A and B are shown apart, each in its own frame.
Chain A
Amino acid sequence: MKALLTHEVGSLDKPGWRVKAFAGKPLAEADYEEARHWGERLQVPDYPKLVELLRQSPLNREQKHEVQRWSSRYAVRLLESAGLDVVYDGEQQRTEMYDWTVKHSLGFEARGSVRAFDNKYYTKAAVTGPPGLRAPFHNDEFQYVKSVAGAELKVPATGAYTIADWSFDERYGKPTDLRRAAAERRAERKAGRRAFVLDVARKIIRPNIEALLDLGAGWIQVDEPGASTEPDELSLFAESFNATVEGLPATFSTHLCFSDYRLFFPAIEAMSACRQFAVGFANYDSRELGTSPANRPGYQVIAKFRDLPYAPILGLGVLDIHTDFIEPPELVRDRILYAVDVFDDPNRIHVTPDCGLRTRSWEVAYTKLRNMVAGVQLAKKELRLN
């Protein structure tokens, strides 16, 4: 892989026209204009056909599916137009990274919404039966994206630990009499967790990835935002990653975010099949320019990734996805230069946002990504990599 390669992490916001059309809600003139504006701006081929389609709403099932595909196409173009080296479709055809996976799996039942942060909620399910793959659930999406993308693809797939951690457990553990010794109850709970996580890895995530590889996918990013939730289970996270990918012929990476990353060490020393860690750092960093350690407090942990025995690439998160602040190219440049200095090897640094950009508007996401690419160019110039 090339030095300072750029890619997105996963999700983008879903345009209003996509949400409303899919939900069968009436579209306003502003929605048609949004589709027209971005179609023209991103030079999406045949975009007037989307506007025509939207004007036929309410749409039938096949038309709604067509709108989802248009949304994928727009997102691919947004990422390509921003100048990224590796793209996907902003997960436009999925409901959400957790919900999409459990809805296409056996053994789960929805339980309702819970808050993640601020006013953001997600629908949480409970495992109630044996986990299993209902049918491969990224295949249609992958084949479509492959047919419309010009850039290299990286498929984001939610990892087993996160799926288990974000689910209630109504199968592997049972409520017990609280008069029993707490240590005994805790040990039972941990044993149940381990069985649950590894079942998800072996019976859902791995066969789904195998199906993608059969279709020609070459790079799978295993998304694990929940990986460090329970600090005493980092080894289980690493074990689940290995159970998911071991022996499969592809490039595997993982995405980690919003954690105390020091917790991952030494557990992830066991993840030798992980070629890249895409990690969010900008959220913890200063907005001041500069390449000294004092200027870059959010990146102090990166030396630990450098020192992993299997020398993975670090996907360096340089865009804070929780704010509309637009990182100037010079700030992106300095974050990269700091990381290259620590690693002493630009080939081991890729450049990414901290996480999926779905909480930002397309305008903000696009501007941030363009500045990220511009920052990479500045860094390359500084490093004489062009």
Chain B
Amino acid sequence: MVAATRGLDRGRVTAASVDEAFAQDLRDFVRVQQDAQLDYFSDGLLRWQDIFRPLVEAAPGLAAHRLVRWFDNNAFFRAPQPRGSLTAIAAPDAIVPDGIVPRPRVATLPSPYLFSRAAVGVKDRNAFMLELAQSVLRPAVERLFQEGCELVQLQEPWLPYFGIADGDWAPFKEALAATRGDAGARIVLSLYFGDAGPHLPRLKRLPVDALGIDLVETDVAELGSGWEMGLVAGCLNGRSSLLESLDETVDLIRHLAASVRPTTLYVSSNSDLELLPTAVAEKKVLLLGEAARRAKERVAA
């Protein structure tokens, strides 16, 4: 896929060759998830050039603007920029997993807070956040649910990395409620690249079904106990090529199940795996599946 897209940019290969390269990579990624016996399947967002792009390209009121660093990584996204008023979009085909992705599926979208803060040329970010939620994200969640995505992860690195002002919590809550709508998908707010610990009391009051917590950055001790919502435990480092210890990961999962006691415990990487080469990412997916399986066995025993 890397070679194919590079070749296409330089006019050295055809679009059909690129499509075939993507299809092959997707088949490989699905196989790895099946081998790992994961509970939810993703399409890996292989065609997404950044977390905003398919949505921005589908929305007449948005444009992909200048390159901006993706937090503290050597990766860049094109900042969304409003271009006139936002009207409700039909969710684009580009966000729907290909038919070969098994069900149940997990989908990924930007959180409205991230989306509104990463944009440029915005005067009232909270008003823009609500507009995005209503006009762009809700249609996307509804379409994804219809397509078998029972779980929708809203990516939210901005909040733990840069923080959030007191006055922004209420608009954020409203935007999340607007995003989830009535579709029926379970919504996860994934907080990564920063310490979510200081925000947890307020995060737990948001209208989502689970919180994704980056445990590389957040102290396990800060999670507390007796959660009345789900926890997506970010147990594997999506920015490190080193493989975690299987035993320590299993022990961590058991510790979380026993101490945090969320309504549902999901285990995952701390962030998505796009910052890792494919071979390393595949090993982490397999490790994740194995760790979850062993943890379940021990809990059952």
Instruction: Please report A residues at the B interface, Cβ cutoff 8 Å.
Output: 16, 111-122, 124, 126, 165-166, 168-170, 173-175, 177-179, 181-183, 185-186, 226, 228-231, 258-260, 283-284, 322
Contacts and interface: CB of A to CB of B under 8 A. Distances in A.
A119 B6 contact: yes
A174 B243 CA distance: 9
Contacts of B76: 116-117, 258
A175 B74 contact: no
Contacts of A16: 10, 12
A47 B250 CA distance: 64
Contacts of A175: 237, 240, 242-245
Contacts of B2: 113, 121
Contact of A258 (B69, B248, B280): B69
Nearest to A298: B66
23 contacts: A16-B10, A112-B278, A113-B278, A114-B275, A114-B276, A114-B277, A115-B49, A116-B76, A117-B49, A117-B50, A117-B67, A117-B75, A118-B49, A119-B8, A121-B6, A178-B215, A178-B235, A185-B216, A229-B72, A229-B73, A259-B69, A322-B66, A322-B67
Interface in B1-49: 2, 5-6, 8-10, 12, 49
B255 interface: yes
Contacts of A119: 5-6, 8-9, 49
Nearest to B73: A229
Given A113-B277, A229-B74, 14 more contacts: A111-B279, A114-B274, A117-B49, A118-B78, A119-B5, A121-B5, A166-B74, A170-B242, A175-B242, A182-B217, A182-B219, A258-B69, A283-B66, A283-B67
B116 interface: no
Interface residues of B, number: 48
A322 B237 CA distance: 31
B241 interface: yes
B72 A178 contact: no
A125 to B, nearest CB: 9
Nearest to A113: B2
B251 interface: yes
A68 B160 CA distance: 47
Nearest to B11: A16
B221 interface: yes
Interface in B191-232: 195, 197, 215-221
Contacts of B218: 182
